[in-house]
A and B are shown apart, each in its own frame.
Chain A
């Protein structure tokens, strides 16, 4: 069975600093996808970034990058130059490639950016 672990329930970061949100996963599938979503207080889930298990390079999307270490089974999200609008819950998720492709979510990290 798949499992996602986010060990940081909350983080406080000074504005303009970089922040790393941790995510480790466990799966027996050789092929999988890893995702990060942002959930502001409004409730919507915003897709941030995707990393495939066979991707050779770490994914990047603007200020977001994913530090993918396959041997360690970690997929940490790095946000550069944090902004006040980055304050939100962040969820790491994994998708099995075969089957109905449902997502398994971690418990989330609440990030608060301090001005």
Chain B
């Protein structure tokens, strides 16, 4: 399968600081990447769709000024959690869509566990 790298895998930060998470597709180009949030023992919740060269599309209820998304190249999307607070502590996971006819599989990174103190 395709490889998607997500970094860092774990980050601990103080309340009020900003944290940047990177998502890279290593062996394919991805015009579209997705950012999800997962609470313990829950399913994945889509936060936003990241489109290369254009603004991200945010899901209802997700603060775009809080979760900044940049998709500057066909292999890299970043999520910046601005002025993080303890309630932002969660598991964040990205995916990159690999186009292949009708399939268009989303391949996921390994996730980032964010802990805000």
- B-contacting residues of A (Cβ < 8 Å)? 33, 35, 37, 42-47, 50, 52, 91, 95, 97, 100-103, 105-108
Please report the number of residue pairs spanning A and B whose Cβ atoms sit closer than 8 angstroms. Answer: 58
For the complex of A and B, the 8 pairs showing the least CB-CB separation, nearest first, are A45-B108, A44-B110, A43-B111, A105-B43, A100-B49, A105-B44, A107-B43, A52-B102
Q: With contacts A50-B105, A107-B43 known, what are 12 further pairs, Cβ within 8 A?
A: A43-B93, A44-B108, A45-B95, A47-B1, A47-B105, A52-B103, A91-B43, A97-B102, A100-B57, A101-B97, A103-B106, A105-B43
- A-contacting residues of B (Cβ < 8 Å)? 1, 32, 34, 42-44, 46, 49, 57, 91, 93, 95, 97, 102-111, 113
Chosen A-B contacts, 5 in total, with CB atoms closer than 8 Å, are A33-B104, A43-B110, A44-B111, A101-B104, A102-B49
Query: Do the beta carbons of B43 and A106 come within 8 Å of each other?
Result: yes
Give the complex CA separation of A91 and B49 in angstroms. Answer: 20
Tell me which residues across on chain B come within 8 A of A50, comparing CB atoms. 103, 105
CB closest residue in chain A, given B105 = A47
Tell me which residues across on chain B come within 8 A of A101, comparing CB atoms. 32, 97, 104
What is the CB-to-nearest-CB distance from A47 to chain B, in angstroms, rounded to a whole number? 6
Tell me which residues across on chain B come within 8 A of A108, comparing CB atoms. 43
Give the complex CA separation of A46 and B97 in angstroms. Answer: 14
